[in-house]
Protein backbone atom coordinates (compact mmCIF):
# COMPACT_ATOMS: atom_id res chain seq x y z
CA UNK A 1 0.00 0.00 0.00
CA UNK A 2 1.17 3.54 -0.68
CA UNK A 3 2.19 5.59 2.35
CA UNK A 4 0.62 8.84 1.10
CA UNK A 5 -2.16 9.52 -1.44
CA UNK A 6 -0.79 9.73 -4.95
CA UNK A 7 -1.67 11.63 -8.11
CA UNK A 8 -2.06 8.95 -10.75
CA UNK A 9 -2.79 8.81 -14.48
CA UNK A 10 -3.88 5.50 -15.99
CA UNK A 11 -4.24 4.96 -19.72
CA UNK A 12 -6.18 1.86 -20.69
CA UNK A 13 -8.28 2.35 -17.55
CA UNK A 14 -11.62 1.21 -18.98
CA UNK A 15 -11.26 -2.51 -18.18
CA UNK A 16 -9.03 -5.31 -16.92
CA UNK A 17 -5.74 -4.48 -15.22
CA UNK A 18 -6.12 -0.74 -15.74
CA UNK A 19 -9.55 -0.69 -14.10
CA UNK A 20 -8.40 -2.94 -11.24
CA UNK A 21 -5.39 -0.68 -10.65
CA UNK A 22 -7.58 2.41 -10.62
CA UNK A 23 -9.78 0.88 -7.94
CA UNK A 24 -6.75 -0.24 -5.92
CA UNK A 25 -5.19 3.22 -5.99
CA UNK A 26 -8.55 4.75 -5.09
CA UNK A 27 -8.64 2.62 -1.95
CA UNK A 28 -5.47 4.43 -0.83
CA UNK A 29 -7.14 7.81 -1.30
CA UNK A 30 -5.40 8.56 -4.58
CA UNK A 31 -6.43 11.25 -7.02
CA UNK A 32 -6.86 9.67 -10.44
CA UNK A 33 -7.13 10.71 -14.06
CA UNK A 34 -8.56 7.84 -16.10
CA UNK A 35 -8.05 7.61 -19.85
CA UNK A 36 -9.23 5.26 -22.61
CA UNK A 37 -11.34 5.53 -25.76
CA UNK A 38 -14.72 4.63 -24.22
CA UNK A 39 -16.09 7.45 -22.05
CA UNK A 40 -19.06 5.42 -20.78
CA UNK A 41 -16.77 2.62 -19.61
CA UNK A 42 -14.47 5.13 -17.93
CA UNK A 43 -17.43 6.66 -16.10
CA UNK A 44 -18.26 3.20 -14.76
CA UNK A 45 -14.72 2.68 -13.46
CA UNK A 46 -14.62 6.22 -12.05
CA UNK A 47 -17.72 5.41 -10.00
CA UNK A 48 -15.96 2.35 -8.57
CA UNK A 49 -12.99 4.55 -7.66
CA UNK A 50 -15.15 7.10 -5.87
CA UNK A 51 -16.91 4.34 -3.94
CA UNK A 52 -13.48 3.03 -2.92
CA UNK A 53 -12.50 6.40 -1.47
CA UNK A 54 -10.58 8.05 -4.28
CA UNK A 55 -11.12 10.96 -6.64
CA UNK A 56 -11.39 10.26 -10.37
CA UNK A 57 -11.47 12.49 -13.42
CA UNK A 58 -12.40 10.94 -16.76
CA UNK A 59 -10.51 12.11 -19.87
CA UNK A 60 -11.43 10.10 -23.00
CA UNK A 61 -8.18 9.60 -24.93
CA UNK A 62 -6.93 7.51 -27.83
CA UNK A 63 -3.22 6.96 -27.11
CA UNK A 64 -2.45 6.56 -30.82
CA UNK A 65 -3.25 10.30 -31.14
CA UNK A 66 -0.13 12.11 -29.92
CA UNK A 67 -1.89 15.46 -29.50
CA UNK A 68 -4.65 13.85 -27.43
CA UNK A 69 -2.06 12.33 -25.10
CA UNK A 70 -0.32 15.69 -24.70
CA UNK A 71 -3.66 17.23 -23.77
CA UNK A 72 -4.23 14.42 -21.28
CA UNK A 73 -0.90 15.06 -19.56
CA UNK A 74 -1.49 18.81 -19.41
CA UNK A 75 -4.98 18.40 -18.00
CA UNK A 76 -3.79 15.87 -15.42
CA UNK A 77 -0.98 18.17 -14.27
CA UNK A 78 -3.27 21.18 -14.06
CA UNK A 79 -6.08 19.26 -12.34
CA UNK A 80 -3.94 17.50 -9.73
CA UNK A 81 -1.04 19.93 -9.44
CA UNK A 82 1.40 17.33 -10.74
CA UNK A 83 1.70 13.63 -11.54
CA UNK A 84 3.32 11.12 -9.18
CA UNK A 85 2.74 7.98 -11.25
CA UNK A 86 1.70 7.37 -14.84
CA UNK A 87 0.54 3.84 -15.63
CA UNK A 88 0.80 3.14 -19.36
CA UNK A 89 -1.55 0.18 -19.65
CA UNK A 90 -3.08 0.25 -23.12
CA UNK A 91 -2.82 -3.12 -24.82
CA UNK A 92 -4.61 -4.72 -27.76
CA UNK A 93 -3.93 -7.84 -29.77
CA UNK A 94 -4.81 -9.91 -32.79
CA UNK A 95 -4.39 -13.68 -33.02
CA UNK A 96 -3.80 -15.64 -36.21
CA UNK A 97 -1.09 -16.80 -38.56
CA UNK A 98 0.97 -13.75 -39.49
CA UNK A 99 0.34 -13.86 -43.23
CA UNK A 100 -3.40 -14.46 -42.78
CA UNK A 101 -3.98 -11.39 -40.58
CA UNK A 102 -4.49 -8.10 -42.48
CA UNK A 103 -1.41 -5.91 -42.24
CA UNK A 104 -3.66 -3.05 -41.05
CA UNK A 105 -4.47 -5.10 -37.95
CA UNK A 106 -0.78 -5.75 -37.24
CA UNK A 107 -0.05 -2.05 -37.69
CA UNK A 108 -2.79 -1.06 -35.24
CA UNK A 109 -1.37 -3.37 -32.57
CA UNK A 110 2.00 -1.62 -32.90
CA UNK A 111 0.34 1.81 -32.91
CA UNK A 112 -1.52 1.13 -29.67
CA UNK A 113 0.89 -1.10 -27.75
CA UNK A 114 4.21 0.52 -28.64
CA UNK A 115 3.69 3.95 -30.21
CA UNK A 116 0.91 4.67 -27.72
CA UNK A 117 3.26 3.97 -24.80
CA UNK A 118 5.91 6.18 -26.41
CA UNK A 119 3.29 8.93 -26.60
CA UNK A 120 2.54 8.44 -22.89
CA UNK A 121 6.19 8.67 -21.85
CA UNK A 122 6.90 11.62 -24.15
CA UNK A 123 3.99 13.55 -22.65
CA UNK A 124 4.71 12.92 -18.97
CA UNK A 125 8.51 12.96 -18.78
CA UNK A 126 8.71 16.77 -19.06
CA UNK A 127 6.37 16.95 -16.05
CA UNK A 128 8.56 14.52 -14.11
CA UNK A 129 11.70 16.47 -15.01
CA UNK A 130 10.10 19.74 -13.91
CA UNK A 131 9.01 18.12 -10.62
CA UNK A 132 12.32 16.30 -10.17
CA UNK A 133 10.50 13.04 -9.52
CA UNK A 134 7.90 10.65 -10.86
CA UNK A 135 7.27 7.02 -11.76
CA UNK A 136 6.38 5.73 -15.21
CA UNK A 137 4.97 2.19 -15.14
CA UNK A 138 5.13 0.31 -18.43
CA UNK A 139 2.70 -2.62 -18.65
CA UNK A 140 4.50 -5.16 -20.82
CA UNK A 141 3.55 -8.80 -19.96
CA UNK A 142 5.67 -11.91 -20.11
CA UNK A 143 5.34 -11.50 -23.88
CA UNK A 144 8.23 -9.09 -23.57
CA UNK A 145 10.48 -12.10 -22.93
CA UNK A 146 8.72 -14.92 -24.76
CA UNK A 147 7.82 -14.54 -28.42
CA UNK A 148 4.20 -15.46 -29.14
CA UNK A 149 3.59 -17.26 -32.44
CA UNK A 150 0.19 -16.42 -33.94
CA UNK A 151 0.53 -12.98 -32.28
CA UNK A 152 3.55 -11.60 -34.12
CA UNK A 153 2.68 -7.90 -33.89
CA UNK A 154 1.85 -8.30 -30.19
CA UNK A 155 5.25 -9.94 -29.61
CA UNK A 156 7.01 -7.19 -31.55
CA UNK A 157 5.26 -4.51 -29.48
CA UNK A 158 6.13 -6.14 -26.16
CA UNK A 159 9.78 -6.75 -27.05
CA UNK A 160 9.86 -3.12 -28.19
CA UNK A 161 8.46 -1.89 -24.87
CA UNK A 162 11.23 -3.69 -22.99
CA UNK A 163 13.84 -1.94 -25.14
CA UNK A 164 12.05 1.37 -24.70
CA UNK A 165 12.21 1.09 -20.91
CA UNK A 166 15.84 0.06 -20.85
CA UNK A 167 16.82 2.99 -23.07
CA UNK A 168 14.81 5.46 -21.00
CA UNK A 169 16.43 4.23 -17.79
CA UNK A 170 19.81 4.96 -19.38
CA UNK A 171 18.78 8.49 -20.37
CA UNK A 172 17.38 9.18 -16.90
CA UNK A 173 20.26 7.67 -14.94
CA UNK A 174 21.24 11.10 -13.61
CA UNK A 175 17.71 11.65 -12.24
CA UNK A 176 17.54 9.24 -9.29
CA UNK A 177 13.98 10.16 -8.35
CA UNK A 178 12.49 9.47 -11.79
CA UNK A 179 11.77 5.78 -12.28
CA UNK A 180 10.85 3.63 -15.28
CA UNK A 181 9.19 0.45 -14.01
CA UNK A 182 8.21 -2.58 -16.10
CA UNK A 183 5.49 -5.05 -15.12
CA UNK A 184 5.45 -8.56 -16.62
CA UNK A 185 2.36 -10.58 -15.69
CA UNK A 186 1.60 -13.97 -17.17
CA UNK A 187 -1.95 -14.69 -18.43
CA UNK A 188 -4.51 -12.52 -16.62
CA UNK A 189 -8.28 -12.99 -16.34
CA UNK A 190 -9.44 -9.84 -18.14
CA UNK A 191 -11.90 -9.17 -21.00
CA UNK A 192 -8.89 -8.59 -23.31
CA UNK A 193 -8.94 -12.09 -24.78
CA UNK A 194 -12.57 -11.64 -25.86
CA UNK A 195 -11.80 -8.18 -27.22
CA UNK A 196 -8.80 -9.27 -29.30
CA UNK A 197 -8.85 -9.55 -33.06
CA UNK A 198 -9.19 -13.18 -34.10
CA UNK A 199 -8.18 -14.73 -37.42
CA UNK A 200 -7.63 -18.29 -36.18
CA UNK A 201 -11.03 -19.62 -37.21
CA UNK A 202 -11.64 -20.83 -33.65
CA UNK A 203 -12.93 -19.28 -30.43
CA UNK A 204 -10.18 -17.92 -28.15
CA UNK A 205 -9.69 -18.80 -24.48
CA UNK A 206 -6.97 -18.76 -21.82
CA UNK A 207 -4.96 -21.51 -20.09
CA UNK A 208 -5.83 -22.65 -16.55
CA UNK A 209 -4.37 -20.75 -13.63
CA UNK A 210 -4.84 -17.23 -15.00
CA UNK A 211 -4.14 -14.38 -12.60
CA UNK A 212 -6.70 -12.23 -10.87
CA UNK A 213 -6.16 -8.72 -12.34
CA UNK A 214 -6.23 -7.38 -8.79
CA UNK A 215 -2.98 -9.22 -8.10
CA UNK A 216 -1.33 -7.26 -10.88
CA UNK A 217 -2.95 -4.07 -9.60
CA UNK A 218 -1.40 -4.58 -6.16
CA UNK A 219 2.02 -4.90 -7.76
CA UNK A 220 1.54 -1.60 -9.61
CA UNK A 221 0.34 0.19 -6.48
CA UNK A 222 3.45 -0.97 -4.61
CA UNK A 223 5.63 0.65 -7.26
CA UNK A 224 4.32 4.06 -6.26
CA UNK A 225 6.37 3.92 -3.05
CA UNK A 226 8.83 1.16 -3.88
CA UNK A 227 9.81 1.53 -7.55
CA UNK A 228 11.85 -1.21 -9.17
CA UNK A 229 12.94 -1.76 -12.74
CA UNK A 230 11.29 -5.15 -13.25
CA UNK A 231 8.29 -6.74 -11.58
CA UNK A 232 7.12 -10.20 -12.67
CA UNK A 233 3.66 -11.30 -11.55
CA UNK A 234 2.61 -14.94 -11.76
CA UNK A 235 4.35 -18.13 -10.68
CA UNK A 236 5.47 -19.32 -14.14
CA UNK A 237 7.25 -16.05 -15.01
CA UNK A 238 10.67 -17.15 -13.74
CA UNK A 239 10.47 -20.42 -15.64
CA UNK A 240 9.45 -18.62 -18.82
CA UNK A 241 12.40 -16.24 -18.64
CA UNK A 242 14.83 -19.04 -17.86
CA UNK A 243 13.56 -21.26 -20.65
CA UNK A 244 13.84 -18.44 -23.19
CA UNK A 245 17.37 -17.60 -22.02
CA UNK A 246 18.71 -21.13 -22.10
CA UNK A 247 16.70 -22.60 -24.98
CA UNK A 248 15.98 -19.79 -27.48
CA UNK A 249 13.23 -20.53 -30.03
CA UNK A 250 12.24 -23.83 -28.38
CA UNK A 251 9.40 -22.31 -26.39
CA UNK A 252 8.12 -20.45 -29.44
CA UNK A 253 8.10 -23.66 -31.47
CA UNK A 254 6.17 -25.46 -28.74
CA UNK A 255 3.65 -22.62 -28.54
CA UNK A 256 3.23 -22.67 -32.31
CA UNK A 257 2.34 -26.37 -32.18
CA UNK A 258 -0.10 -25.75 -29.36
CA UNK A 259 -1.83 -22.90 -31.21
CA UNK A 260 -2.12 -24.93 -34.39
CA UNK A 261 -3.72 -27.84 -32.53
CA UNK A 262 -5.96 -25.62 -30.44
CA UNK A 263 -7.30 -23.64 -33.41
CA UNK A 264 -8.29 -26.84 -35.19
CA UNK A 265 -10.15 -28.19 -32.14
CA UNK A 266 -11.76 -24.96 -30.92
CA UNK A 267 -15.36 -24.08 -31.62
CA UNK A 268 -15.64 -22.23 -34.94
CA UNK A 269 -15.54 -18.43 -34.70
CA UNK A 270 -15.84 -15.69 -37.34
CA UNK A 271 -12.92 -13.46 -38.25
CA UNK A 272 -12.96 -10.17 -36.35
CA UNK A 273 -10.79 -7.12 -35.68
CA UNK A 274 -12.10 -7.05 -32.11
CA UNK A 275 -11.32 -3.77 -30.36
CA UNK A 276 -8.38 -2.82 -32.58
CA UNK A 277 -10.10 0.10 -34.26
CA UNK A 278 -13.11 0.77 -32.01
CA UNK A 279 -13.87 0.25 -28.29
CA UNK A 280 -15.71 -2.98 -27.44
CA UNK A 281 -19.40 -2.80 -26.64
CA UNK A 282 -18.95 -4.63 -23.31
CA UNK A 283 -16.16 -2.46 -21.91
CA UNK A 284 -16.02 -1.37 -18.27
CA UNK A 285 -15.36 -4.73 -16.61
CA UNK A 286 -12.36 -5.85 -14.55
CA UNK A 287 -12.74 -9.62 -14.84
CA UNK A 288 -12.85 -11.71 -17.97
CA UNK A 289 -14.78 -14.58 -16.37
CA UNK A 290 -12.19 -17.24 -17.19
CA UNK A 291 -10.78 -17.74 -13.71
CA UNK A 292 -11.39 -20.65 -11.36
CA UNK A 293 -9.93 -19.44 -8.02
CA UNK A 294 -9.26 -22.97 -6.70
CA UNK A 295 -7.72 -24.06 -9.96
CA UNK A 296 -5.65 -20.89 -10.02
CA UNK A 297 -4.11 -21.60 -6.63
CA UNK A 298 -3.20 -25.14 -7.65
CA UNK A 299 -1.67 -23.86 -10.88
CA UNK A 300 0.41 -21.34 -8.95
CA UNK A 301 1.83 -24.03 -6.68
CA UNK A 302 2.59 -26.26 -9.65
CA UNK A 303 4.18 -23.34 -11.49
CA UNK A 304 6.52 -22.56 -8.60
CA UNK A 305 7.61 -26.18 -8.44
CA UNK A 306 8.20 -26.37 -12.18
CA UNK A 307 10.15 -23.13 -12.17
CA UNK A 308 12.44 -24.42 -9.42
CA UNK A 309 12.94 -27.90 -10.90
CA UNK A 310 13.33 -26.97 -14.56
CA UNK A 311 15.24 -23.78 -13.80
CA UNK A 312 17.71 -25.79 -11.72
CA UNK A 313 18.07 -28.37 -14.46
CA UNK A 314 18.74 -25.71 -17.06
CA UNK A 315 21.35 -24.05 -14.86
CA UNK A 316 23.03 -27.38 -14.24
CA UNK A 317 23.08 -28.07 -17.98
CA UNK A 318 24.55 -24.64 -18.61
CA UNK A 319 27.38 -25.27 -16.15
CA UNK A 320 28.19 -28.80 -17.36
In a 13 Å sphere around the CA of 68, the CA atoms on its Cβ side amount to 13
259 contacts: CB under 8 Å, gap ≥ 6? 149, 150, 200
Measure CA 76 to chain center: 21
* Closest C-alpha among 97, 196, 199, 201 to residue 152: 97
In a 13 Å sphere around the CA of 269, the CA atoms on its Cβ side amount to 23
201 burial level (CB within 10 Å; 0-12, 13-18, 19+): middle
Q: Which of 145, 154, 184, 199 is catalytic?
A: 154
Cα angle vertex 65, ends 63, 67, to 5°? 110
Asked if 23 and 45 count as a contact pair (C-beta separation under 8 A), the reply is yes
Asked if 69 and 63 count as a contact pair (C-beta separation under 8 A), the reply is yes
Q: What is the CA radius of gyration of the chain?
A: 19
Report phi then psi at 179, rounded to 5: -120, 140
Residue 145 is among the residues annotated as catalytic for this protein? no
* Number of neighbouring beta carbons within 10 Å of residue 311: 17
Catalytic residues: 154
Amino acid sequence: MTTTPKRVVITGASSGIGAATAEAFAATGARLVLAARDEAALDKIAALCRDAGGEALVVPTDVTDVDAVKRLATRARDHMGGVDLWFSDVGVGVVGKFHEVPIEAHRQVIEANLIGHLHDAHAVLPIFLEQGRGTFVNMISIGGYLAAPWAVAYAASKFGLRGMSQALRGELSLHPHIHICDVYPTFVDTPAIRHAGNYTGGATSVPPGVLDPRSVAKAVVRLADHPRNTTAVGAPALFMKLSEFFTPNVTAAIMNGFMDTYSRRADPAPETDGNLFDPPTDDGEIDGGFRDPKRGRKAAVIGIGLAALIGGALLARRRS
